[in-house]
Amino acid sequence: MKKVKSKIVQDDVLGTLIKISNKVGVDPNLVQGGGGNTSVKTEDGKYMYIKASGTALKDMNTEKGWRRVCVDDLIALVNDAKLANLEMVKRETQVVARLGFCCDDHFGSGFRPSVEAPLHAILDRCVIHLHPNAVGAFVNSKDGQKKIDKLFADYKCPPLWVPYVDPGFTLSRTVFKLVQQYQTQYGKMPAIVFLEKHGLFVSAKKPAEALNIVKDVIDRCSQKLKSLNVTPAAQCDKQAVRSASLTIRKAVYNATGQYFPVSFSNNSLIKQFSNRSDAAKLLNGAITPDELVYANGPAVYLEKVDAKKITAKLAAQIEKGEKVSRSFLVKDLGLFIAADSSTTPVIEQVCCSSLFIRLNAAGMGGLTTLSKRQADFINNWEAEAFRQKQYAGSSSADLKNRVAVVTGAGSGLGRSIAIGLANSGAMVALADIDVEAAQKTAETIKAQLPHASVMAIKCNVTNEADVESGFAAILDCWGGVDIIVNAAGIAPAYALVDLPVDKWRLALEINLTGYFIMAKIASRIMIAQGIGGSIVNLSSKSGIDASKNNTPYNATKSGELHMARGWAMELGQSGIRVNCVCPGNVFEGSKIWNPEYIKVCAKKYGIKPEEVIPYYVDKTMLKREIKGSDIANAVVFLCSERSRMVTGQTLVVDAGQAMVR
């Protein structure tokens, strides 16, 4: 029978849940990423508002991030002996379905209640589940339980310690039995529950009381540990960091065939850990489910950055059916993360939390890690896969995680191409001498694609030092370069007899020297990176079919074609493809097709200014106006795997006006 949904009242219970969640969710010392969960029951105990799986506590609001569930249905789920006897995959599939039936709200199946909802149901009215760094040191140490007993010896009703069991249904049933035993012994349910290799549960009647208990637990645990304060580390050798980023990016690509940006971070904790003689030993084995879910396990320790050795390490993980490591701790340098930019901040949080926990647990009788069986359960658990997908999202875009640089990205075709690359999944550096215009392009992209990775860079393409500085900024942010599109250019329109020499030289400088400098610096990086790349010169139909009164443009656009052919011959052995796109007349958003230029064209053809655009459109075979997106699509094609055997070629996108010959 279909359950009739009762009316949702946006009452103080939901408001209380949001306040608690937001308060604890902003502190990375308490929770990382989408981990942790919270709940508050209605006064009558019939319903419970709980965090939705995959939602970060800090992001919860009245519109999303929570579910309302029937408490009795959750208790029945925990007590279902038939479920307990099922094989793991069948059991967990049924648990997910049953949790959906427990919900009593307007949300669809895309928003699941926390998988630990049944556990919340058997505790007090306000429940806060966190993964605090301070607590992690105790629950992941061999002497953790003894030290917790001593720390809370003054409590009349001491904390409940739960030995590690698989999370989800099994954990809920285990805690249910232990809570019943606790109530028999102490006459009340536990206010504090420590979960071995997992985290902390706190529950109380009132929210303020629950938050105060959290504070007391953190304060007590922190007093017995090394300082939680993490300060910035001394500056590292930037060239060494950039070189290491390129090498790690190459190794990850060689092992997985996937592109990822590589970010770098360093602080006093990372530095202290990386220089320990037992660092590699301390990083042997995952310590928590979150470390597996968000970071694919602990960081790989590297005394030296060697592409072949890293590739072999990652290939061995794949061979064993393990997830590929996302983080690398390099001695004397710091922490490198190869992952989607959307998940990098969380992975960094999880990694730093892991380093802190490992350092402190090592001094408390030694570190305990998840066994292979326990880790395999987490890695194969559908609930955690759902949580990771909800947090990170997914994409199968052609250029996912490729690092692209577009010159002249502040306007016209440069802007259109940058938007097209971002739409195809690339991370785009917007290079322009007018950095404010480039920033507007960035804002345009972010408005369309909130999760896109873009950065605006002030860059004079004719100045080699400026170009080198721009590429350094890109490497410091994303760790590599895969695509360079030369789109910056000018078109001084004069009759030969009237052409000023300075305008001729300026066109040569921007349209040829600028292309050359950008390609030179980019190709050096691509060669060092060792995973190929794509260079696209934006030429013009005027490069293959000269136009009247356009000497500088004709010459430079033709020169761009021939430069690209030579570069293709030089760079092919490094897997770098070089091609050209020759657009026809693209009017929208163009700085070249400004009112003054249109007047020049009108005079040249003896027509009115308002007739210029229709005149040019009529010259094409398709009789259609070419849009910036048409040129962007051609560039995306030439940068994608769909054109992996295309190099040294010219693609004309002009609606059928000039023929390549």
- Tokens describing residue 17: 């849940």
CA quadruple 330, 335, 336, 339: dihedral sign: positive
- Which strands form 300-302's sheet, in the order they lie side by side? 262-265, 334-338, 327-330, 300-302
Residues in the chain: 661
Describe the strand order of the beta sheet including 650-653 as a list of residue ranges. 454-458, 427-432, 403-407, 483-486, 533-538, 576-583, 650-653
Q: 57, 24 in Cβ contact below 8 A? A: yes
The active-site residue out of 182, 515, 553, 616 is: 553
Decide if 524 contacts 542 (C-beta within 8 A).
no
Identity of residue 59: D
Contact (CB, 8 A) for 457 and 429:
yes
Residue 470 and residue 459 in contact, taking contact as beta carbons nearer than 8 Å? yes
Backbone angles phi, psi at 113, to 5 degrees: -70, 155
CA distance 568 to 303: 37
Cα–Cα distance between 416 and 115 in angstroms, integer? 44
Q: How far apart, in whole angstroms, are the C-alpha atoms of residue 32 and residue 40? A: 21
Alpha-carbon distance 636 to 320, whole Å?
A: 36
What CA–CA distances, in Å, run from 327 to 107, 275, 302, 314, 333? Answer: 36, 17, 11, 11, 13
| Three-state secondary-structure class, residue 82 | helix
| Nearest alpha-carbon partner for 584 in 553, 554, 539 | 539
- CB neighbours of 465 closer than 8 A, spacing ≥ 6? none
Structure tokens at 125: 């009215």
Spatial contact of 228 and 133, defined as CB atoms under 8 Å apart: yes
C-alpha 616/C-alpha 634 separation (Å) is 21
- DSSP characters for 115-177? TTHHHHHTS-SEEEEE--HHHHHHHTBTTHHHHHHHHTTT-SSPPEEE----TTHHHHHHHHH
In degrees and rounded to multiples of 5, residue 79 shows phi and psi of -90, 5
**Is 553 labeled as catalytic in the residue annotation?**
yes
Active-site annotation, residues? 553
